[in-house]
Structure 1
Amino acid sequence: MTFEPWMAWTGLGILCLLAFSGFFSGSETALTATSKARMLTLEKEKDHRARRVNLLINDRESLIGGILLGNNLVNILAASLASAVFLAMFGEAGVPIATLVMTLLVLIFAEVLPKTYALSNPDRMALAVSLPIRIFVMLFAPVVAAVQWLVRATLRILGLSVEGPVLSAHDEIRGQIDLHHQEGGVVKTDRDMLGGVLDLRELTVDEVMVHRKSLVMFDIDQPVEQLVADALSCPHTRLPLYRDDTENIVGILHVRDLARELHNAGGDSSKLDIESIKREPWFIPETTELLEQLTAFRQKREHFALVVDEYGALMGVVTLEDIIEEIVGEIEDEHDVTVEGVTPLPDGFILVDGGAPIRDVNRALDWELPDDEAVTIAGLVIHEAQTIPEAGQIFRFHGVQFEILERRRNQITRMRLKKEPEAEDADD
């Protein structure tokens, strides 16, 4: 084995190339793991490094292509130089020795070490490397573009296509929220509220409305004294008025308007003209998206709308509070009538009203019952059972046991739920 001066210089060059390889590897990890939201915030604060980072990650294909080009270039060059040195030192045995030594050096110092640091400090490192990586990507842009064209052409020949992201921006945000919740960074209430905001685009008013069977309506032609007494004793402030038939809604009586006119009349309800007090009803289709309806409420400065189906039949009512509750959860005040919805029992069962929305049950219990085919828990049972169950029947689907406790006519009013042990173990 002989050692010549050129080998020392070559060895120094190999170390420099390994440092460049580590730089490219760490930069790739940092720029792909950095928080885009954090970078956008820093860019708004006039941080030029953050602006460069955003430019790089916005063109992720060119970024990755440029970094891979540089990384492979220095790795191959380092391996070639090492082979030349070891061949001169050990003869034919130098090739396997060079392969082993360079594999260890590249793995430890050019891959694991820089990537470990980059994962621990992605934002800091991304800001630090943004300028040299930006310059390198710009210099080698033509080469990267040619490689990209060749890759896409090859994929087309193979019958494969390169599409955009599989997940929409909303799905990516939802996934990030769920991930941080699992890691303990986001508490359940915050996760539910953030998810509720995203769900506004996917829900329609018929999924959150108060069904017509639960509405409180008044006959506008009944004696005014009786109407006033009933309206003032009602826990609701906006009351639909009908004439002759409950389908014929002729107006909305606001209790504040009623109280003001009653005060002006000196408390004599017989002097009131309900026709002049009532407001015009606002009808909306049941397929209206919640986000669209929320915007309409704000624009019209209204809080109350009547929901009708495609035939114009009254389905129920939706209020601004109903939509807000999809974000923040149930809102109750001193005038709300307490309704049993989801009540945990000492024996591990959950007492649930049949009319409880599936979304509310999922939120309360952190379950994932499907709500595609039904809105309420009772509707889910009927859909899955393909029949209207009798009291005492027990069903098991979606990892939950459903025991029917009460049924009135064709309506399931109360049931007991319990997560199946197998489903709980699978979730764990």
Structure 2
Amino acid sequence: MALNRYRLRHKARSGNRAAKRTSELLDRTDRLIGVILIGNNFVNILASAIATIVAVRIWGDAGIAIATFTLTLVVLVFGEVTPKTLAALHPEKVAFPASLILKPLLKLFYPLVLVVNGVSNVLLRCLGVDTSKGGTDQLSQEELRTVVHEAGGLIPGTRRGMLLGILDLEKVSVDDIMIPRNEVVGIDIEDDIDEILEQLRTAQHTRLPIYKGDINNIVGILHMRKVARLLSLDEVNRAALLNETRDAYFVPEGTPLHTQLFNFQKEKRRTAIVVDEYGDVMGLVTLEDILEEIVGEFTTDVASNNRDITPQPDGSFIIDGTATIRDINKALEWHLPVDGPKTLNGLVTEHLEEIPDTSVCITISGRYRMEILQIRDNRVRSVRVYPPIKPS
């Protein structure tokens, strides 16, 4: 009963005969327990009867007490505590050889086992217990997370992080990882053609959204691979540029990441425009963004490579107001609240319940002391954040 059922099934599927035999016995635990207890009780009662007869012949009536005490001690030490402790510590070493004996015994005493189990089940049903509803070996998501955590050295840290990242996809939506609309780099097709060409030559992204006049009017997505061919032509016009764009792929805000990952696969897409219920553009999310949630950032030191977070000599950090709370928590291993605003600017303004007009100091969650450094265009541009105060 102490066997790891998942390890047992793995070994059984791998062709281990002892594992297959043991797994068959555990498929009907009521019958397995029945045959074990029949043999166990038969031996114990027989031993007590023999010991009592021998003790009475040797010591008379006092032999009953002597036999009871002695046999109880012997059975507890040699028949219960010692072997069961050994079996609990090394279940496979005990269970696999024992299955060689238990399986034939189960066939031999099968009629008796059925009778005993039948009577037992009737008594349980009289007590209101439904014997047909047995336990299940299926794991919930949180239980699976615990299994991954407790795997320890059996699973390397990076792979353990990836497994946990996959489990977390259901808790995170595209809103949490998208590039907000004010940071989306795109091309306004109504700009001067020379400005558009210069923007294409210096673009640092593989795909760029093309829009007319306003980011809410996106007409397509342009891949830089097609731009290289266009730039080799003597004359490039807007029509040729639009001809190379692909229709934009729009997704609603709040879409869970695991759903969006499958949608990307189904639609054969790598970039999606996130829109709200009114059709206004909220931001842009890519397949790479979702993969980073699983495998982690593609850098060795997230904090030092994050342009929004600048470490200071006194141990504090100057953080851009547009930095997302999740990125800050991941980079600095903090626990700023993520159930409200997505950005540091939103967190500060929500805490103050107004847009500050001067630099002020605040404390978030009783641990994170923040000093507003710059305010512009009705937004908090930069904040100095001190390391969290350790709870006393």
- Shorter-chain TM-score category? 0.7 to 0.9
Contact 2:336/2:365 (CA < 8 Å) preserved in 1?
Answer: no
Contact 2:184/2:283 (CA < 8 Å) preserved in 1?
Answer: yes
Contact 1:35/1:123 (CA < 8 Å) preserved in 2?
Answer: no
Q: Which residue of structure 2 aligns with residue 418 of structure 1?
A: 388
CA deviations 1:361-400 (Å, max 9, x no partner) are 55556666664556556666777x5846964112345xxx
Give the Å deviation of 1:107. Answer: 3.3
Q: Which residue of structure 1 aligns with residue 371 of structure 2?
A: 405
Q: Partner amino acid for 1:300? A: E
Asked if 1:36 is matched to 2:6, the reply is yes
Report the more deviating stretch, 321-330 or 295-304: 295-304
Contact 1:66/1:141 (CA < 8 Å) preserved in 2?
Answer: no
Q: Which residue of structure 1 aligns with residue 241 of structure 2?
A: 274
* Distance of aligned partners of 1:270 and 1:248 in 2 relative to their CA distance in 1, 3 Å threshold: closer
Q: Which residue of structure 2 aligns with residue 177 of structure 1?
A: 148
Q: Which residue of structure 2 aligns with residue 51 of structure 1?
A: 20
Report the more deviating stretch, 242-251 or 96-105: 96-105
Asked if 1:300 is matched to 2:267, the reply is yes
Give the Å deviation of 1:235. Answer: 1.9
Contact 2:318/2:382 (CA < 8 Å) preserved in 1?
Answer: no
Give the Å deviation of 1:304. Answer: 0.7
CA deviations 1:7-28 (Å, max 9, x no partner) are xxxxxxxxxxxxxxxxxxxxx3
Asked if 1:154 is matched to 2:127, the reply is yes
* Distance of aligned partners of 1:307 and 1:113 in 2 relative to their CA distance in 1, 3 Å threshold: same
Give the Å deviation of 1:279. Answer: 0.9
Q: Aligned partners of 2:222 and 2:12: how far apart in 1?
A: 52
Structure 2 gap ranges (5+): none
Q: Aligned partners of 1:54 and 1:122: how far apart in 2?
A: 13
Contact 1:388/1:410 (CA < 8 Å) preserved in 2?
Answer: no
Q: Which residue of structure 2 aligns with residue 7 of structure 1?
A: none
Secondary structure at the counterpart of residue 105 of structure 1: helix
Contact 1:389/1:404 (CA < 8 Å) preserved in 2?
Answer: no
Contact 1:350/1:416 (CA < 8 Å) preserved in 2?
Answer: yes
* Distance of aligned partners of 1:379 and 1:221 in 2 relative to their CA distance in 1, 3 Å threshold: closer
Q: Which residue of structure 1 aligns with residue 200 of structure 2?
A: 231
* Distance of aligned partners of 1:323 and 1:76 in 2 relative to their CA distance in 1, 3 Å threshold: farther
Q: How do 1:231-250 and structure 2 match up within 5 A?
A: 231-250=200-219
Q: Which residue of structure 2 aligns with residue 203 of structure 1?
A: 172
Asked if 1:315 is matched to 2:285, the reply is no
* Distance of aligned partners of 1:343 and 1:78 in 2 relative to their CA distance in 1, 3 Å threshold: farther
Q: Which residue of structure 1 aligns with residue 162 of structure 2?
A: 193
Contact 2:315/2:386 (CA < 8 Å) preserved in 1?
Answer: no
* Distance of aligned partners of 1:392 and 1:189 in 2 relative to their CA distance in 1, 3 Å threshold: farther
Contact 1:177/1:191 (CA < 8 Å) preserved in 2?
Answer: yes
Give the Å deviation of 1:328. Answer: 0.7
Q: Aligned partners of 2:45 and 2:320: how far apart in 1?
A: 68
CA deviations 1:194-230 (Å, max 9, x no partner) are 1012223443322322222321222121122211211
Q: Aligned partners of 2:72 and 2:175: how far apart in 1?
A: 62
Q: Which residue of structure 2 aligns with residue 18 of structure 1?
A: none
* Distance of aligned partners of 1:377 and 1:222 in 2 relative to their CA distance in 1, 3 Å threshold: closer
* Distance of aligned partners of 1:122 and 1:247 in 2 relative to their CA distance in 1, 3 Å threshold: same
Secondary structure at the counterpart of residue 315 of structure 1: strand
Give the Å deviation of 1:332. Answer: 5.4
For residue 262 of structure 1, the aligned residue among 222, 231, 247 is 231
Q: Partner amino acid for 2:371? A: L
* Distance of aligned partners of 1:269 and 1:387 in 2 relative to their CA distance in 1, 3 Å threshold: same
Give the Å deviation of 1:282. Answer: 0.6
CA deviations 1:82-127 (Å, max 9, x no partner) are 4554455445544554444344333332333323433443334333
For residue 212 of structure 1, the aligned residue among 163, 181, 188 is 181
Q: How do 1:262-411 and structure 2 match up within 5 A?
A: 262-263=231-232, 265-266=233-234, 268-270=235-237, 273-331=240-298, 338-340=305-307, 360=327, 371-373=338-340, 375=342, 385=351, 387=353, 391-397=360-366, 401-406=367-372, 408=375, 409-411=378-380
Q: Which residue of structure 1 aligns with residue 70 of structure 2?
A: 101
Q: Which residue of structure 2 aligns with residue 129 of structure 1?
A: 98
State the number of aligned residues: 378
Secondary structure at the counterpart of residue 316 of structure 1: strand
For residue 144 of structure 1, the aligned residue among 103, 117, 125 is 117
Contact 1:201/1:291 (CA < 8 Å) preserved in 2?
Answer: yes
Secondary structure at the counterpart of residue 288 of structure 2: helix
Give the Å deviation of 1:192. Answer: 1.5
Secondary structure at the counterpart of residue 418 of structure 1: coil
* Distance of aligned partners of 1:95 and 1:166 in 2 relative to their CA distance in 1, 3 Å threshold: same
Secondary structure at the counterpart of residue 206 of structure 1: helix
Q: Aligned partners of 2:119 and 2:355: how far apart in 1?
A: 65
* Distance of aligned partners of 1:59 and 1:221 in 2 relative to their CA distance in 1, 3 Å threshold: farther
* Distance of aligned partners of 1:358 and 1:85 in 2 relative to their CA distance in 1, 3 Å threshold: farther
Q: Aligned partners of 2:347 and 2:67: how far apart in 1?
A: 66
Q: TM-score, normalised by structure 2?
A: 0.77
Contact 2:173/2:255 (CA < 8 Å) preserved in 1?
Answer: yes
Q: Aligned partners of 1:368 and 1:188: how far apart in 2?
A: 21
Give the Å deviation of 1:168. Answer: 3.3
* Distance of aligned partners of 1:279 and 1:349 in 2 relative to their CA distance in 1, 3 Å threshold: same
Q: TM-score, normalised by structure 1?
A: 0.72
